[in-house]
Amino acid sequence: MAKKEYSIDMVNGPLTKNVIRFTVPLMLTSLLQMCFNTADTIVVGRFAGDNALAAVGATGSLCFLMVTMFNGLAMGANVVIAKFFGAEDRKGVENSVHTAMLLSLISGVLLTLVGVLCAEPLLKLMQTPDSIIGQSLLYLRIYFGGALFFLVYNFGAAVLRSKGDTRRPLYFLAISGVLNVVLNLIFVIVFHWGVAGVATATVASNALSSIFVVITLLKENDATRIYPSRLKLNAGITKEILRIGIPAGIQGAMFALSNLVIQSSINSFGSETIVAGNSAAANIENFVYVGMNFTSATMTFISQNIGARKYNRIGKITGVTMALNAGCAAFISLSLYMFGKSILGLYTTSPDVVSYGMIRMTWVCLFLWLNGVMDVFLSALRGMGHSTMPTVSMIVCICGFRLVWLFTVFRAVRTLPIIYYCFPISWVLTSVVLGVMWICAYKKLKRKPVGQI
């Protein structure tokens, strides 16, 4: 049903080759996003001043917290549509695509209302300094004013990924990202709009990428083609998207909250040097996550194969993507660690900042491959249609464990490494729990009669 030149056969053919073909564009997409975000930061810091840089930086965790809730729905749409693709159910694909795109419009309006109305009280709740709260509020209101474009693109990209098309979303992001950088330079340097310029450039680039994805879906020659007159919510499909997507969104929000507590614990040392070292090392870790995009392949490939009732391939998909995900993460982590001091030196000239940064790289960066194992189990379970229990397990074993660790062990032994120990320990704990859940779900799936999905 999918266009031959862009789609990938997920239920037949060489698995490893197809997984890599699917994932490489996602890696490049993540890398481009990092580069564009870095360019934004440089433009703001160099040409709008430290206050503007701080104002934009102060909104990061809040934007992530709110956007993550709605992005979970896009993940749910990806799983549902991929299952219909695997089952070669054209009507199911058509209904789920139109349901997903209407959900993106509804979600965009809701996110705009919540973001604009709640921005000021949330900034005050986060104890944002008075010197920057005005600029932070301006940034958030413009940013969330264009939230509709962001979600339309994410849902549209999820539709394309469900049939194996990860290339065109990459092309759209590349073009819109370049526009973002150009508009930043114009709005900030030429027009002197400061924070408002950065936010406006972001909204404009999101609008362009959403236009690209909508035009693409309007012109598709398969079941993913959208017709505006057919946009409506199918009750059963909407329920399934929400069943998978809401727990994923809640999990992301809980992760954001737990990370705020971890950051607060690091801040409690009262040392700008420690905070700077931690921030630099955490930024470097993003390059490891670029190599961990095989989780998207895990979820989408498994969803299609369940739709095709090829249950015996589920174990192989999980094994191949886990080996690729953990192996790639381990290679990048070790490479970054070996050159850690030199890389950290790009962020700072302070030996103390480099030293503190290396502590995080030792206990977090080097063990990120464990995160790669955990994420594959989680994605596999979601691809199999299980979302609530894996999410509960993640919240308890990751967020809950880390909070308990910080309020007990860290209070007893107040050292920086003690904070970082909670990362690898929580990854191992969660991987074991999710691994057991995956084994049980897989055994149950293999016992299903061939006609059942």
Per-residue pLDDT reduced to its tens digit, 278-287 = 878 888 898 9
Q: What pLDDT is stored for residue 449 in this prediction?
A: 60
In the predicted structure, residue 4 carries a pLDDT above the cut 70: no
Question: Count of residues for the chain?
Answer: 453
Q: Evaluate the CA torsion angle 444, 449, 452, 453 in order and state its sign.
A: positive
Rounded to an integer, the average pLDDT of 230-239 is: 96
Rounded to an integer, the average pLDDT of 302-324 is: 95
Among 264, 265, 323, smallest CA distance to 15 is for 323
Neighbours of 236 (CB within 10 A): 13
Whole-angstrom distance, CA of residue 7 vs CA of residue 221: 12
Q: What pLDDT is stored for residue 5 in this prediction?
A: 67
Q: What is the dihedral of CA 37, 40, 46, 52, to 10 degrees?
A: -100
Q: Say which residue, 38 or 159, is predicted with more confidence.
A: 159
Q: What pLDDT is stored for residue 436 in this prediction?
A: 97
Q: What pLDDT is stored for residue 131 in this prediction?
A: 84
The residue type at 200: T
Assign 78 a pLDDT band (cuts: 50, 70, 90): very high
Among 52-56, 366-370, 381-385, which stretch is predicted with the lowest mean pLDDT? 52-56
Whole-angstrom distance, CA of residue 369 vs CA of residue 332: 9
Rounded to an integer, the average pLDDT of 233-237 is: 96
Q: What pLDDT is stored for residue 2 in this prediction?
A: 43
Rounded to an integer, the average pLDDT of 115-133 is: 84
Rounded to an integer, the average pLDDT of 315-326 is: 97
pLDDT tens digits, residue range 10-38? 999 899 999 999 999 999 988 888 877 77
Rounded to an integer, the average pLDDT of 336-360 is: 91
Among 57, 76, 68, smallest CA distance to 255 is for 68
The residue type at 203: V
Q: pTM value?
A: 0.87
